[in-house]
A = this chain, B = another copy of it.
């Protein structure tokens, strides 16, 4: 099995190197010059796009443009997969730009930080965009071999659940970062966990944060719910203080 990865940013470098550890040949290309991640060969764009499976590891906001540019160069025999943290829009863009290809929308729900303690049980979402076939089962089996928790769901199901889990976590992390929270000697366990959330979410790019909020059709509703919840807690507190 030959796997191509397009995009060697923080996630692409980590993910391509990880994929190489399961026995497949992994080749990569990127818009910008990058050194090859461990186990990965940097190859000419044409070769990478012609792999059996081609993962795009680019930012959500650049994905549509990248697809428009590269889709004419991707042979129809190549299975195309994205790895974006939202799924409704990327799936739509793949359908529009690669109508004849076998396509799978995916979300590996981890990164270099959260994978540090092992891969076992980390969620890996697959949203097949076509009838399942042998090619689908083969890549699913390959990914399963790493110990990920493979989850199949529709792109809408994914985005709704993700807005109220990953999306809110990043929102809380960025908000607390804005407050410049500091470590303290009297940190409770809860506060230490909160600081860890801030550290991990803010270690991801700011672009990912904005993309998670802008390109998830359920994120706005999530943020509104959060604002309403804060108002409720503050109002209840106010009524206690007035006593």
Contact = CB atoms under 8 A, between A and B. Distances in A.
Nearest to A173: B190
> How many of these chains are in the complex?
2
A141 interface: no
Nearest to A115: B189
Contacts of A190: 114, 166, 169-170, 173, 197, 200-201
Given A179-B225, A237-B214, A165 B149 contact: no
A232 B168 CA distance: 16
Contact of A197 (B151, B193, B210): B193
A233 B169 contact: no
Interface string A107-139: 101100010000000110100000000000000
A230 interface: yes
Contacts of A175: 226, 229-230, 233
A40 B115 CA distance: 45
A186 B165 contact: yes
**Closest 4 A/B residue pairs (Cβ):** A178-B229, A169-B190, A165-B191, A114-B189
Given A123-B187, A165-B186, A168-B194, 9 more contacts: A109-B186, A161-B184, A164-B179, A165-B187, A175-B226, A179-B229, A190-B197, A193-B197, A210-B240
